[in-house]
C-alpha cells in the first residue's frame, strides 16, 4: 500500500474539502400562533444506481472526498468505520481468504495507508479461494496533479517493502475521469498465518488525485480462481465521478 514520504509534504498542496450542506428550513404559519414544523432527521445516503457504469452496479461514496465509485451490486462494500470495528473485521478475516494478510500489511503502514473503501466479491465467502477485491487507499498528504509522478515513486517504494513481489512492477500513465493517473501493476504472494507457499495474486492499481484528495484504487485477484465476470480495473476506475 502506498506511503507518501514526509519529504513530499514540502511540495504537496494539501487542501481540506469541506462540504457544508445548509439545513432545509421548513415552516408553516397557522394564524394566530405560528407553529414550526420540526426538521426530519437526515437520512444516511445509501448506494445508488450508477449512471455511467455497467447495468447492475451501485455507486458508493468515498468518505471525505466528494467522489463516488461504482461496484457490482452483488459485492460486499465496507468503509473505514466498519473495518475499524473488531467483530466486523474478524468476520471478514474468517470468511474471506487473504483478508487477514491484507489487513495485517496495511496495519503495518499505520495511518499512512488507510482503506477508506473496500469491495469484496461475495461469491468467494467461505469458499477458501482468494476473494477478488477492490481497495481505495487514501494517500496523505493529498497530491497536486503536478506531483502525481513523485507520489507514484514513493508508492512503488512502499509497495516493494509491504508485499512479497515476484514480478517486475509495471508503471504507465493513464487517463481517468478525474484526469491523468499513474497505473502500477505487479504480482505478489499472499501467505496466510499458517505459512506455506501461499497464493500468487495480481495487483493492479491506479493513483489518482483531485488535488484535495488522492487515492490508490486497486484491484487484486487470483487469476486462477477469479470468476470470468470479475470487473477490470478500467471498468472500476471508469466509474469515478464527483458526487456533487
161 lies in a domain? yes
228 lies in a domain? yes
Query: How confident is the model over 209-219, as pLDDT tens digits?
Result: 999 999 999 99
Provide the percentage of residues in the chain whose pLDDT is more than 90. 55
149 lies in a domain? yes
Query: How confident is the model over 94-117, as pLDDT tens digits?
Result: 999 888 887 877 676 666 668 899
17 lies in a domain? yes
- Looking at the predicted structure, is the pLDDT value of residue 8 above 80? no
Query: The domain containing residue 236 runs over which residues?
Result: 6-242
46 lies in a domain? yes
Higher per-residue pLDDT: 161 or 138 = 138
Q: Which of 87-96, 192-201, 225-234 has the lowest mean pLDDT?
A: 192-201
Mean pLDDT, residues 82-92 taken together: 93
202 lies in a domain? yes
Mean pLDDT, residues 125-143 taken together: 93
- Looking at the predicted structure, is the pLDDT value of residue 185 above 70? yes
Query: How confident is the model over 27-64, as pLDDT tens digits?
Result: 333 334 444 444 444 444 556 655 567 888 999 999 88
Q: Which CATH number belongs to the domain containing residue 205 in this structure? A: 3.40.1000.10
Query: How confident is the model over 152-163, as pLDDT tens digits?
Result: 998 888 888 888
Query: For the residues of the chain, what is the DSSP string, one character each?
Result: -----GGGGGT---------------EE--TTS-EEPPPPPPPPP--EE-TTS-TTEEEEEETTTTEEEEEETTEEEEEHHHHTSHHHHHHHHHHSBTHHHHHHHHHTTGGGSEEEEEEEEGGGTTSSSBPPEEEEEEESS---GGGHHHHHHHHHHHHHHHSEE-SPPEEEEEEETTEEEEEEEEEEEE--TT-SS-EEEEEEEEEEE-SS-EEEEEEEE-TTTS-TTPPPHHHHHTT-EE--
Instruction: Give the number of domains in the chain.
Output: 1
212 lies in a domain? yes
- What is the pLDDT, as a whole number, of residue 105? 72
1 lies in a domain? no
Amino acid at each position: 500500500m502506498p506511503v507518501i514520504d514526509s519529504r513530499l509534504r514540502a511540495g504537496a498542496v494539501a487542501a481540506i474539502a469541506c462540504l457544508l450542506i445548509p439545513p432545509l428550513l421548513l415552516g408553516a404559519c397557522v394564524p394566530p400562533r405560528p407553529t414550526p414544523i420540526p426538521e426530519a432527521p437526515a437520512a444516511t445516503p445509501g448506494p445508488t444506481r450508477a449512471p455511467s457504469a455497467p447495468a447492475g452496479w451501485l455507486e458508493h461514496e468515498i468518505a471525505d472526498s466528494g467522489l463516488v465509485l461504482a461496484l457490482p451490486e452483488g459485492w460486499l462494500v465496507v468503509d473505514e468505520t466498519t473495518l475499524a470495528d473488531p467483530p466486523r473485521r474478524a468476520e471478514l478475516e474468517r470468511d474471506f481468504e487473504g483478508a487477514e494478510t491484507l489487513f495485517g500489511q496495511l496495519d503495518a503502514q499505520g495511518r499512512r495507508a488507510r482503506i477508506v473503501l473496500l469491495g469484496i466479491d461475495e461469491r468467494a465467502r467461505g469458499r477458501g479461494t482468494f476473494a477478488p477485491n477492490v481497495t481505495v487507499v487514501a494517500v496523505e498528504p493529498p497530491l497536486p496533479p503536478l506531483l502525481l509522478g513523485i507520489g507514484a515513486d514513493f508508492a512503488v517504494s512502499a509497495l516493494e517493502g509491504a508485499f512479497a513481489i515476484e514480478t517486475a512492477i509495471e508503471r504507465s500513465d493513464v487517463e481517468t475521469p478525474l484526469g491523468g493517473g499513474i497505473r502500477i501493476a505487479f504480482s505478489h504472494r499472499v501467505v496466510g498465518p499458517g505459512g506455506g507457499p501461499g497464493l500468487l495474486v495480481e495487483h493492479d492499481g491506479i493513483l489518482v488525485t483531485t488535488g484535495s484528495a488522492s487515492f490508490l484504487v486497486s484491484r487484486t485477484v487470483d487469476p486462477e480462481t477469479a470468476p470470468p465476470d470479475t470487473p477490470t480495473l478500467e471498468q472500476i476506475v471508469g466509474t469515478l465521478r464527483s458526487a456533487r
